[in-house]
Chains A and B, each alone.
Chain A
Amino acid sequence: MKKLISIVALASLSFGLLAASPVAGVESDLVAAQKARIAAFKTAPKKRPHVAFVSNGVADFWTIAKAGAIAAGKDKSIDCDVTVEFPGGGLADQKRMLEDLVIKGIDGISVSPIDPTNQAEVLALIAEKSLLITNDSDAPKAPRLCYIGMDNYDAGLMCGKLARDGCKGGEVAIFIGRLEQDNAKRRRQGFIDGLLGRAPDATRYDEPSKVITEAGYTIVGTWTDSFDRAKAKANIEDVMIKYPKLALMTGLFEYNSVLAVEVIKQTGKEGKVQLAGFDEGADVIAAIKEGFVLGTVVQDPYAYGFESVKVLSAFCRGDMSMVPASGVINISARVIKKDNAESFWKDLKAKIAAGKESGKAPSKNSGK
């Protein structure tokens, strides 16, 4: 009986402590503490800061971002050491890398959090021991000093409008790697709202399992694949079988669009099933030039990397002037169509080559 009473008492105490913990307060305290540290750097700036850029996975997109980060480190006006990390093993891998960087004593980290809601502890740890900013996918509730990237809802809207302009109605399918991360949810919702011609509202959320029939379109579903490309391809093939009258599809992660092009070609459905793509897969750009893909919405990963390092380096010298009141440094997405596909592709290839070079030359500025 005594044991039972002690367990109940302990449980009540723990519950009480948890309930009383001022989570929101802790976050704002952490932001204030970081700002105080930055203010202190004004009088005693870091001579050569060491900052890190951490992706949310491994992709060509991140190689371009890495090139930007490394280039910023070498820029004379920025001048700092840069470490670039690509977690290949998902959430656990990213957490380990972030913790290791903090232990290493890094001066600032720009991260694209995979699942910000469930990464509150590690993000708080960075804010406590270093300086935290986010890129590509935001964590607005975390104690981050700013977010660098595009608004994924707006980019989704662009993709939706591209699809709406090119396809005037019918069945639509959405393919995406995973839906856990903030950018994926917002991108998908933006696409849906843009396609259906709704008034923009980033807080709206349509359940992925729900069929949406509106404005002449029927969105038959959203399929995820956890980055298994064979599965992603099978998803597209199966959906095209299940919905033989499918009018349009969108692949909201880079490889989803690449595989959609592959399946369209293999099944001879060029021009019969429209595709509004996302990101800059080589096959997607080639298909846009050939004319059977409506277009693709591209981000600017090079700028994500460059700006991240630039901002963190400025923080370490006591300068926060480049951060707007909204806390968002916007790097807009743009639509690539047949008319600008060629020039975009040339520029991109040069950046990818720069990214590869930066990976080959180990120096103080080189990434990992």
Chain B
Amino acid sequence: MKKALGIIGIFAAIFLFASIYGDNFLTGLNLQQLTNRAALCSILALGASLVIVTGGIDLSIGSVVCLAGITTPWLLVEKGWTPMQVLPLVLVMSAFIGLCHGLLVTKLRLQPFLVTLCGLLLYRGIARWMTGDQSQGFQGEFGDVRALALAKFSIPGIENYRIPATVIPMFVLALLIGLFFSRTVWGRWLLATGRNESAARYSGVPTARLITLSYMACSLLAGFGGMLFIFDIGSAQPSDFGNFYELYAIAAAVLGGCSLRGGEISVVGVLFGAATLQVLRTTITLVGLSSQLEFAVIGAVLLVGVAADELIRRFSARRRERLGAPVSA
């Protein structure tokens, strides 16, 4: 939780700023939409964090989002498959992609950067070829399946805010991942693998299996996220759907306290990292800043935020040293 304090502080500062200066920021509908976007981004970021914790990286997340997201309406609408066939197939396909990544990294000892960079190109290429570059959408049908992302649940006593359905998988996944790291031996082993793979392996930890499982989980969540994204948006074009989503997912994970060197994770931090990115994007519109400034504002605010967080940490550590208290990692 300590690792997440920095990003919670940044989130709170941006939220406060948006509440004061953004038009209608605190309306129920805006908060509802923000929750939905944050939940979708969180699912990808949680997947990214599972690979980052091993010291690896997955650059193919956006392309897996694309392939899974495009395949879903393509099979449902163009090929006439049923949701009961399509949904499991897409999830299995996503997990299989992760299995390939994991085996290439652990058995063939290829660099994760290289493996997933090739994946980034490969999966988008497949999606474009498969659909002939045609946009894929639900054409007003499959409302019951799309409800997985579009359904909203009322809260008794609150009128203008309804909880988006995407929050449920986000919380379930966050809870499972949190319990995995805090309550299971496998979770501890995975952290140990990320900190020092050789040491963990010599201690009897099945590092190759754990790393492979991490890549599988990451791609599975990317595929699942891709399905939810397409359910939410309704249609997508294979050439651009999911572009750069891996960077948002990795940014959210790292902002949330995952170290790119591996061995560190904060599930709460990842959720706040994803939420911060979404709140920041919305703030730019509601405050009335030019949309051309979006990337510049996101980059500048996050850089200032993490720099301030790091300086506060160092200051606190030095203070504790001076007072003779043990320094926490």
A residues apposed to B, CB below 8 Å: 57-60, 62-63, 86, 88, 208-209, 221, 223-225, 227-231, 233-235, 237-239, 241-244, 255, 258-259, 262, 266-267, 281-283, 286, 356, 359-360
Contact = CB atoms under 8 A, between A and B. Distances in A.
A58 B237 contact: yes
Given A208-B290, A360-B132, 12 more contacts: A58-B240, A63-B132, A63-B133, A86-B133, A224-B292, A230-B232, A234-B285, A238-B286, A244-B24, A258-B234, A267-B29, A281-B235
Size band of the B side of the interface?
35 or more
Contact of B237 (A208, A255, A266, A286): A255
Contacts of A230: 37, 229, 232-233
Nearest to B238: A58
B139 interface: yes
Contacts of A243: 23
A262 B133 contact: no
A282 B78 CA distance: 14
Contacts of A59: 135, 237
B145 to A, nearest CB: 16
A209 B290 contact: yes
Given A234-B281, A241-B24, A283-B140, A88 B239 contact: yes
A229 B240 contact: yes
Interface string B224-265: 000001001111111111011000000000000000000000
A52 B243 CA distance: 28
Interface string B282-302: 100110101110000000000
Contacts of A266: 150
Contact of A241 (B27, B135, B237, B241): B27
B291 A223 contact: yes
A88 B139 contact: no
Given A241-B24, A258-B235, A356-B132, A229 B241 contact: yes
Contacts of B137: 258, 282-283
For the complex of A and B, list the 3 residue pairs with the smallest distance between their C-beta atoms, beginning with the closest: A58-B239, A88-B239, A238-B285
B229 A237 contact: no
A63 B285 contact: no
Contacts of B101: none
A344 to B, nearest CB: 16
26 contacts: A58-B239, A62-B133, A86-B133, A209-B290, A224-B291, A227-B243, A228-B243, A229-B236, A229-B237, A233-B233, A234-B33, A234-B37, A234-B285, A238-B30, A239-B285, A241-B29, A241-B30, A242-B285, A259-B233, A262-B234, A262-B235, A282-B137, A283-B139, A283-B140, A283-B234, A360-B132
A237 B36 CA distance: 12
Contacts of A282: 137, 139-140
A359 B134 CA distance: 11
Contact of A359 (B27, B30, B132, B282): B132
Contacts of A221: 288
B37 A283 contact: no
Interface string B26-41: 0101100100010000
Given A60-B135, A224-B292, A241-B33, A235 B239 contact: no
Given A63-B132, A229-B233, A283-B235, A242 B286 contact: yes
Contacts of B23: 241-243
B282 A63 contact: no
Nearest to A233: B233
A227 B240 contact: yes
Contacts of B286: 238, 241-242
A233 B241 CA distance: 13
A58 B128 contact: yes
Nearest to B243: A228
Contacts of A233: 232-233
B274 to A, nearest CB: 13
A58 B134 CA distance: 8
B285 A235 contact: yes
Most buried by B among A233, A281, A286: A233
B282 A238 contact: yes
Contacts of B235: 229, 255, 258, 262, 281, 283
Contacts of B139: 282-283, 286
Interface in B1-45: 22-25, 27, 29-30, 33, 37
Most buried by B among A57, A255, A259: A255
B276 to A, nearest CB: 15
Contacts of A242: 22-24, 285-286, 288
Contacts of B33: 234, 237-238, 241
Contacts of A360: 132
Contacts of A281: 235
A246 B232 CA distance: 23
A223 B285 contact: yes
A338 to B, nearest CB: 17
Most buried by A among B22, B25, B29, B285: B285
Contacts of A262: 233-235
B27 A57 contact: no
Contacts of B132: 63, 356, 359-360
A171 B21 CA distance: 20
Contacts of A224: 291-292
A233 to B, nearest CB: 6
A59 B236 CA distance: 10
Contacts of A237: 33
A290 B181 CA distance: 52
B291 A58 contact: no
A290 B142 CA distance: 18
A60 B134 contact: yes
Nearest to A287: B140
Contacts of A86: 133, 239
Contacts of B134: 60, 63, 356
A210 B140 CA distance: 36
A363 B29 CA distance: 53
A88 B133 CA distance: 9
Most buried by B among A208, A238, A258: A238
A4 B327 CA distance: 55
